[in-house]
Amino acid sequence: MLHVTDIRDHKEEYIKALTKRNFDASEVFENVLSLDEKRRSTQASLDNTLAESNKLSKEIGMLYKNGETQKANILKERTGKLKEESKNLQEVLTTTVEELEQLLYTIPNIPQDTVPAGKSEDDNEEVFRKGAIPVLAAGSLPHWELAKKYDIIDFELGNKITGAGFPVYKGKGSRLQRALINYFLDKNTAAGYTEYQVPHLVNEASGFGTGQLPDKEGQMYHVGVDDLYLIPTAEVPVTNMFRDSLLDEKDLPITCTGYTPCFRREAGSYGAHVRGLNRLHQFDKVEIVRLEKAEDSDAALDGMVEHVKTILDELKLPYRILRLCGGDLGFTSTLTYDFEVFSTAQDRWLEISSVSNFKTFQANRLKLRYKDKDGNKQLTHTLNGSALALPRVLAGILENYQTEDGINIPEVLVPYCGFDKI
């Protein structure tokens, strides 16, 4: 979330920047500053009340010691009133702080200057494209029909077990899925990312820490009895490993990768574009997360983009990179690049990765700081990206690599699969 001091110091600048998100911050900023003023004045009154109470307590002790009981009793009446007053002030302060925090949770991150204005994904800016779109033979099939033809993914069986959006991978389909996971992890660890295996359920504090709560609460699966949430991305548990941490500058950057299944309700998603692997409630994803000093995070984001490009270059899939506009930018992000592969059989682009810089937005919620060389405490910058999300990569491979006599396996994956054709 944004820091109140930053809102106060950059109010007009932030209001203008948030218009890129089609978010009018004028009224909410006024409410934030009003609540913060109330918080500060209440805190000052409480401090003064407690200070006076402590001073009188010392005086009362001296009066009793000197035998001046009557004077001491008079002052005791005053301290009783001060205790009641401080109790009331503390209640007001607690309520005000909670109201202020809840209001701050509703304000999205400030877009960077390079974020284009726009209302939807139609206004995203293409910044890079690579790979020739293959020309498929007549009668080529979309991936859901290929999956059925070669018996590698069973959507109906998943529907029977759980419901729509929970596919069952079979035989070579399952082995190809596992091969992709191992390949992505190997690429990430070779690039210096430390691999972690993390829980697939998180508590409420973790959801708030990385910004999924309260913004995406309706899209998360909630286990009510235990008050836990199934993770929508490995970003949540991996980043929260460092919640409430004070790092040392020499420890940065910290780079992490991890594979997890991901769970998203995808409420409101209907139509032909959600067929097959295009949109699922459970899917596999390999994530990369970085913790950086402020001056290094922009370069780190560029480095993450280049890293994802190397993976797609080796898979030899046609892809493009989009800089997201303000209207399509995620709530917590200040700048995001989306990667999309071209689905030849569907004749459309499919998103397979988002690489984002959150700057201090998550760290402020997480209370994630580092001590610089001068001993000052600074908020850490956090970044994350998919490297990669599997379903649409798999869809792209099945469709773009199909031939009249089967589906070829990208050369880089053959050692992981143990076969070169489905």
Q: Are 326 and 117 in contact (CB under 8 A)?
A: yes
* Helices and strands counted in the chain (H then E): 13, 18
Strands 201-203 and 228-230: antiparallel
Q: How far is the CA of 37 from the CAs of 15, 32, 40, 43, in angstroms?
A: 19, 9, 5, 10
Determine if residue 352 is labeled as part of a ligand binding site: yes
Lookup result for tokens 């607690």: 94
Among 302, 297, 235, 239, residue whose Cα is nearest residue 264: 235
Residues 6+ apart with CB under 8 A from 260: 198, 200, 231, 233, 234, 237, 284, 285, 287
Among 108, 96, 121, 111, residue whose Cα is nearest residue 41: 96
Determine if residue 91 is labeled as part of a ligand binding site: no
| Residue 8 token pair | 């106060």
For Cα atoms 378, 298, 292, give the angle at the middle one, nearest 5 degrees.
35
Which DSSP category does 344 fall into?
T
Q: Which helix (H) or strand (E) holds 156?
A: helix 155-161
Q: Which helix (H) or strand (E) holds 183?
A: helix 171-190
Among 246, 206, 5, residue whose Cα is nearest residue 104: 5
Determine if residue 264 is labeled as part of a ligand binding site: yes
| Residue 51 token pair | 């200070």
Determine if residue 153 is labeled as part of a ligand binding site: no
Determine if residue 233 is labeled as part of a ligand binding site: yes
Determine if residue 343 is labeled as part of a ligand binding site: no
In angstroms, rounded to a whole number, what is the distance separating the alpha carbons of residues 105 and 214? Answer: 7
Determine if residue 265 is labeled as part of a ligand binding site: yes
For 91, other C-beta atoms within 10 Å of its C-beta total: 11
Annotated binding site for L-serine: 233, 264, 287, 384
Annotated binding site for ATP: 264-266, 351-354
Annotated binding site: 233, 264-266, 287, 351-354, 384
